[in-house]
Structure 1
Amino acid sequence: MTGARRRATVLLTTAVLALAACSTPGTTPEPSAGPSRTPGPSASPSAAPSPAPSPTPAPSDGAAPEPDDPAAALSLEEKVGQLLVAGTPAADDAVSPATRTAVVDHHVGNVFLHGRSEAGLDATRELVDAATALAPPSAPPMLVATDQEGGLVQVLRGPGFSELPRATEQATWRPARLEREATTWGTELADAGINLNLAPVMDLVPAANQSANAPIGYFSRNYGTTARSVVDSATAFSAGMQAAGVEPVIKHFPGLGRVTENTDTTEDVVDDTITAGSEDVEVFGAGIDAGARFVMLSNAVYTQIDPDRPATFSPAVVAILRDDLGFDGVIITDDVSAAAAVDDRQPADRAVSAVEAGVDLVLASADPSVVPEMADALVARAQDDPEFAAQVDAAVERVLAVKADLDG
C-alpha cells in the first residue's frame, strides 16, 4: 500500500477507532516516582583549531555555479556547518564557550537554547542576538531553536512568555482554540528571535502504556492516546507556530509511544512493534500532509524496520519518510551529543552515520563540546567520498531552502 493510501486510511478510520490500552524534560521538578531524566549538559570549550577552509570544487562539467544557488558560495567546511546544531544554556547571559567555538571556528550555522530559563523574553532576545552575531554577515541566516512544548518541557519562561499547559491538556481543547493559543506562543518565540520549535510531539502512546512510557506518556507530552487526537491537536499546534513565523518540528519518528525506556538515559531502547505501515507512522504522515517541514528522528531501534541501528542512523527509517510519506523537508536527529542510546559510537561516527543515512541536521544540544569532532569528521568523509559529498550537498540545499523562506 502506498504512503498516500495509508494516510487516507488512517484519516478515515481513526475518527471512530481508539487505540487499545528529544529533547525531554529538564531541570523542572518532576513527579516523585518514576523514570529518571537525562543529566544536565556538559559544555567545555574545545581548543582544537579547525582546518583552513577548502575552496568549493567547480562543477564537474566546468559550468559556473548558478548565481542564485546559495550553497555554491559555501566552502565544504561552511556547508558542513549548516548541518550542525550546537546547544547553549537558555538561562545564561552569554553564549557558552563551546558553542562560540563551534560557530566561530567550525562555521556552525544553527543554535539550540536548552535547559530552563526564567529570564523572560527580553533577556532571551539578547542571548539570541549574541549567538547570531557570531556568524559573519555573509553566512546564511541561523536556525535558532528551543523546546517549547508545554508542561514539564518548556525551556523559556518569565516575563513575556506564556505558561504552556501539558500536551495532554492541550489535547482537550478544540483545534481552533489550540491553533490560536499556539499562534500566541509562537509570536512570543519569534519576538525572542526563535524561528524553530522542537515541538509538537506526535508519538502515539496507547492508553495502556501511558504511565509506563518513560520518554513521553509519563510526562504527559502526548496529545491524547488516539491517532485522531494526536493528528488534530499536533497539527493545530503546528499551524499556530507557522502562523507566527516559527517552524515546528514533529517528533520522534517513527514513534516513541510504545517503548518503556528513555533514550536519553538508557542504552538499547528497542521497539519490536512499529512497522513501516503502522498507525504510528501514519500519524506522522498526516503531520507531513498538513505542512510540517521538519521531522525529528527517534534514537530508539525499531526491529521491524531496521534491527541493526537506531532510527537516527537508519537509511531504512529515512526511506519511509522520503519514499513512503513523500517528505521532502528537513530531517533532524534527536540529541546525539549525550544521549545514552547512541553512546556506543564516538561523536564523529554519530554525525557521519546520521548524514550517511539521509539526515539533514545533527543536533548536539546537551554537549556542544563534541561539535568540532563531528564537523571535522564530516569534512574528512566528504573529501574522501564523492557520494557522501553529494549527500552533504543535498542536505545543505534542503536546509538553505527552509532558511530562505524563514528569512523572507
Structure 2
Amino acid sequence: MRSSRLGAVVGALICLLTTACAAPTAGPGTAPGTSGSAPPPTPSPETDPVDAALADLDRREQVAQLIVVGVALTDLSPADAFAAGGLGGVFLQGRSSIPADELATETARWAEAAPGPRPWIGVDQEGGAVQTLSGPGFADLPSAARQGRMPAEELAGLADDMGASLSSAGINLNLAPVVDVVPEGTEDANAPIGAWDRQYGSTADAVSTAAGTVADGLAAHGVTPTLKHFPGLGRVQENPDKSRDATDDVTTGDDDQVAAFGTLAGSDAEPFVMMSSATYTRIDPSTPALFSPVVVTDLLREQLGFDGVVISDDIGAAQAVQDLPADERVIRFLEAGGTLMLTMDAGLVTEMIDAIVARAESDPAFSATVDAAVRTALTAKADAGLLPES
C-alpha cells in the first residue's frame, strides 16, 4: 500500500496551490479506517487486472482513482505530483500551442510516475472555440457546427486525424463530442453551446450521426470519447459554469436530446458520459442533474442501459454547484450513480477524498456505492490499457 506516499505528494501540492497553508491536516494518505468495505482479496495468478488493482489499493487510494483534477496548461508541473499521488486523472485546462511531441514527453513522465493505475490525461478537443491543443502536430479543427455540415467521409477523416494527434501526445481521454441538441434558431440564446457553435446540428439524428463519427475516430486511436452534457444543454439559456440559474423547463426523459445520448452510449467506442449541472424541471426539479438519482440512475443507467463511466462536469469551481459544500457534492454525485468527479479547483481534492472515505466508513450502503464506482472506474482503465496488469 502507498497511502502515505499518496497523502504526502497530493497534500503537499494542494498546500502549494492554495493561498494559505495552515497547520497540517489529514490528506489522502491518512491511514484508512477499519470500517467500510472489506479489503479485497489478495490476487492469484489468474486474477483479472481489475481485481489485482483493487487488491493493491487501500481505501483512500481507491477513492483517489475517482478524482480527475484540472491542471493549467500555463504550468504543467502540478501534474507530476498528481500522477505520483495516484489520482485518477488530470485534465489539461485552458488553451495551448505546445507541440504534440513536446507534450508527449510530459504525459509519458506522468504515466511513469503513477504508483499504480496510470492516469487519465484529458482535454477538451471539440474544435472551433473549444480546442485545448492547437500546436504543431495537432489536427486543425473547425467548430462542431461546421463539422456537422461536412460530408460523412470528410468528417470521418477529420475525426481520425483528431484521434491520431491526441494519441501521439499521450492524451487518452477527450471530453468530447458534444451531444447537446440546440433547436434551430435558438443558437444565440443558448449560452453554453449554441452561442459558441459547439453543436453538431439541430436534430437528434444529425447530432448522433456526427457525434458518433467523432467518437469512433477518437476510439480508433485509443482515446476515450465523452458524450456530454447529459441529458442535454441544448435548451438552457444560462451557462452552468458561470450561473447558478441554468434550468431547462422543456426536456423530458423521452426527449430527442436524451435519445441522441441513448443512441451513442452503448456504441463500440465505449464512451464516458458527462453529466450536466443544469436543473431539468420536467425530469427532476429538485436538484441539478449530476446530483439526481432520477437522472443518473433511473434515466441514464436504467432507461438507456448505460453501465459505463459517468463523469461529472466541473464539480469544483462551476457556479451551478456552489450552493452545496464540496464534501456534499461528491457524496451526492456518487449516490446519484456517478463514477468520476472532475474538479477545476485542485484545493478541494483532499476534502473530497476525506469526505468520501469518512462516509464510506460509517455507512455500509454508501461503502457499497463507492465499491461499485471504483470497480467501474478501474474496468474502464483496464479496457484502456491503463492498469499495471493490462
Q: TM-score range by the shorter chain?
A: 0.7 to 0.9
Select the residue among 89, 111, 117 that pairs with 2:96: 117
| Percent sequence identity over aligned pairs | 43
Counterpart for residue 82 of structure 1: 65
- CA displacement at 1:211 relative to structure 2: 0.8
Select the residue among 48, 51, 56 that pairs with 1:73: 56
Query: Which amino acid in structure 1 is aligned with residue 70 of structure 2?
Result: G
Q: 1:207 to 1:380 in 2, by over 3 A?
A: same
Query: Which amino acid in structure 2 is aligned with residue 95 of structure 1?
Result: S
Counterpart for residue 295 of structure 1: 273
Quick one: distance in 1 between partners of 2:149 and 2:112?
41
Q: 1:300 to 1:325 in 2, by over 3 A?
A: same
Quick one: distance in 2 between partners of 1:192 and 1:282?
33
Counterpart for residue 95 of structure 1: 77
Query: Which amino acid in structure 2 is aligned with residue 113 of structure 1?
Result: L
Quick one: distance in 1 between partners of 2:376 and 2:239?
30
Select the residue among 326, 329, 332 that pairs with 1:350: 329
Query: Which amino acid in structure 2 is aligned with residue 271 of structure 1?
Result: D
Counterpart for residue 146 of structure 1: 123
Alpha carbon RMSD of aligned pairs, Å?
2.3
Counterpart for residue 292 of structure 2: 314
Select the residue among 223, 229, 239 that pairs with 1:246: 223
Tell me the secondary structure at the aligned position of residue 261 of structure 1: coil
Select the residue among 250, 274, 280 that pairs with 1:273: 250
Counterpart for residue 158 of structure 1: 135
Tell me the secondary structure at the aligned position of residue 121 of structure 2: strand
Q: 1:43 to 1:256 in 2, by over 3 A?
A: farther
- CA displacement at 1:61 relative to structure 2: 12
Counterpart for residue 211 of structure 1: 188
Quick one: distance in 2 between partners of 1:390 and 1:112?
27
Counterpart for residue 127 of structure 1: 106
Which deviates more from structure 2 when the two are superposed, residues 204-213 or residues 50-59? 50-59
- CA displacement at 1:58 relative to structure 2: 10
What are the residue-to-residue correspondences of 1:51-66 with 2, within 5 Å? 51-54=29-32
Counterpart for residue 146 of structure 2: 169
Per-residue Cα deviation, 1:279-314 (whole angstroms, up to 9, x for no partner): 110010011133343100001001111111101111
Select the residue among 142, 163, 166 that pairs with 1:186: 163
Q: 1:101 to 1:125 in 2, by over 3 A?
A: closer
- CA displacement at 1:165 relative to structure 2: 0.5
Quick one: distance in 1 between partners of 2:185 and 2:262?
24
Counterpart for residue 260 of structure 2: 283
Which deviates more from structure 2 when the two are superposed, residues 319-328 or residues 173-182? 173-182
Quick one: distance in 1 between partners of 2:41 and 2:224?
35
Counterpart for residue 6 of structure 2: none
CA contact (8 A) 1:89 1:95 kept: no
CA contact (8 A) 2:37 2:364 kept: no
CA contact (8 A) 1:347 1:373 kept: yes
Counterpart for residue 330 of structure 1: 309
CA contact (8 A) 2:339 2:374 kept: yes
What are the residue-to-residue correspondences of 1:5-44 with 2, within 5 Å? 43-44=17-18
- TM-score for both structures, normalised by structure 1: 0.83
Q: Does 1:196 align with 2:154?
A: no
Quick one: distance in 2 between partners of 1:300 and 1:158?
33
- CA displacement at 1:244 relative to structure 2: 1.1
Structure 1 residue runs of 4+, over 6 Å off? Answer: 55-66
Q: What runs of 5+ residues in structure 1 fail to find an aligned partner?
A: 1-41
Quick one: distance in 1 between partners of 2:137 and 2:149?
25
Q: 1:74 to 1:280 in 2, by over 3 A?
A: same
Counterpart for residue 359 of structure 1: 338
Q: Does 1:391 align with 2:369?
A: yes
